[in-house]
Amino acid sequence: MPQKNYMKELIERAWPLILLTLILLVICLVVDLAAKEVFDYRSLERTVTEALIRIVLVVGIYIFIGNSGVISFGHIGFVCIGAYGTAMLTANVRLKSLNLTGLPDFIRLETYDVVTAALAGGLLSAVVALLIGIALMRLSGIAASIATFAFLAIVQTVYLNWDNVTGGAGSIARIPRYVDIWVAFGWVVATMVAAWWFQRSRFGLSLKASRENEVAARAAGVDIFRERLIAFTISGFFCGIAGVLYAHYLGTITPNNFYMSMTFVALSMLVVGGINSLSGAVLGVVVITFVIEVLRQAEKGVEIGQAEYALPSGVQEIALGVIMLLILIFRSGGLTMNREVYWPFKSKSGSAQAGMTRAS
């Protein structure tokens, strides 16, 4: 039956994507049901929601870094822009019209629904990524990395100082909080599908080729600048979406949220999971979130017997840094060794292998 074979091949080809989605779905279902039954599980639900938002973020970054091999320190700038964008569109009109006099009227005097605002936030980030990418993507790998860092600093400086448009260093509060575990999950699926589609597309494949051997890829006619720019823009969009989700999850944002430490945490997740695979990006978030949670508890204090022990603050970051270094030194492909989760039923027929070959 050709129809059935087609379905089977599709499943085999998208297997890592399907498997990751299913695992996350099960986790969400379990937590959601548990959270409804037991009041105490609220904090677990929050942890999982945060982790899902981080998956959007890290997979978003992965779309660029994983395919191009160029390390970017600037993607949190897109998160910041996305969060800011949606916050502006959904924030209370009275608040905006008084404080943010520099905004154009269609933003200052209106409130938009959250879906429009979310898409606008993502698109704003994508447009900025496209524009900034036209300059940055011409640079060599290392110089581009440094320039992305400079971009992050630009976003931060502008945000902090453009008082009548951004509100400056203060926070934007009372952003509608609609992001729960399922909204986050929905965007996780969308982001993973996009990432999967991109890495299997012509663009993604030629970009990966350029990552392995830039000279050979150029010789084969790959326009590295264009491919990188496409990846950068898509990646910018999803990082913007991650920002949108943060804004509507926290209900309040400050520019401080979107700077060095978020960059550090996101990169550590990517590195620990494996920088060159989608599975790695997702696994990295799960593992590091777990580590962070444990350390966060420990910083709050743990009762052992009669005494209470608390780790001093700062230990969390030090631990993450050390884990990251250990992974880089001893397992540079990350926990996944840069591979995708594989199709477990390979022995059945040759078609799985055919799918793999086509992918590589």
Of residues 264 through 283, those in contact with another protein by CB under 8 A are 264, 267-268, 271
Stretch that binds another protein, among 47-55, 118-126, 154-162, 245-253 (CB under 8 A): 154-162
Angle at 45 (CA atoms; ends 15, 257), nearest 5 degrees? 95
Of the pair 97, 332, the CB lying nearest another protein is at 332
SS3 313: coil
Beta carbon nearer to another protein, 170 or 186: 170
Contacting residues for 41 by C-beta, under 8 A, at least 6 apart: 31, 34, 35
Gap between the Cα atoms of 85 and 245, Å rounded: 11
Does residue 143 belong to the site contacting another protein (CB under 8 A)? yes
In the three-class reduction of DSSP (H, G, I as helix; E, B as strand; rest coil), residue 288 is classed as helix
Cβ atoms of 52 and 182 within 8 Å: the answer is no
Binding mask 310-339 for another protein (x = CB under 8 A): --xxxx-xx-xxx-xx--xx--x-------
Considering only CA atoms, which of 297, 144, 302 is closest in space to residue 210? 144
Count of residues interacting with another protein (CB under 8 A): 46
Considering only the stretches 45-53, 78-86, 143-151, 230-238, report the one whose residues sit in contact with another protein under the rule CB under 8 A: 143-151
Tell me the window of 89-97, 110-118, 140-148, 189-197 that interacts with another protein (CB under 8 A). Answer: 140-148
Residue 333 main-chain phi, psi, to 5 deg: -85, 5
Query: Read out DSSP for 52-103?
Result: HHHHHHHHHHHHHHHHH----S-HHHHHHHHHHHHHHHHS-HHHHHHH-TTS
3-state secondary structure of 303: strand
Give CA separation, 65 vs 50, 113, 130, 214, 277, in Å.
22, 32, 15, 15, 10
> Residue written as tokens 């379905």?
7
Exactly one of 139, 291, 298, 335 binds another protein (CB under 8 A); which one?
Answer: 139
Is 69 a binder of another protein (CB under 8 A)?
yes
- Contact region with another protein (CB under 8 A), list: 28-36, 43-51, 133-141, 179-187: 133-141
Nearest to 270 by CA among 240, 239, 304: 239
Residue 140 Cβ vs another protein, minimum distance, rounded to whole Å: 7
Least distance from another protein to the Cβ atom of residue 250, Å:
21
- Contact positions with another protein (CB under 8 A) in 156-185: 157-158, 160-162
Compare residues 122 and 273 and give the one whose CB is closer to another protein: 273
Q: Which of 19, 34, 146, 356 binds another protein (CB under 8 A)?
A: 146
Q: Is 147 in the site for another protein (CB under 8 A)?
A: yes
- 135 lines the binding site for another protein (CB under 8 A): yes
> Which CA distances in Å does 36 have to 44, 160, 185?
11, 40, 17
Kindly list the residues in this chain that would bind another protein in the complex (CB under 8 A): 69-71, 73, 132, 134-136, 138-143, 145-147, 149-151, 153-154, 157-158, 160-162, 260, 264, 267-268, 271, 312-315, 317-318, 320-322, 324-325, 328-329, 332
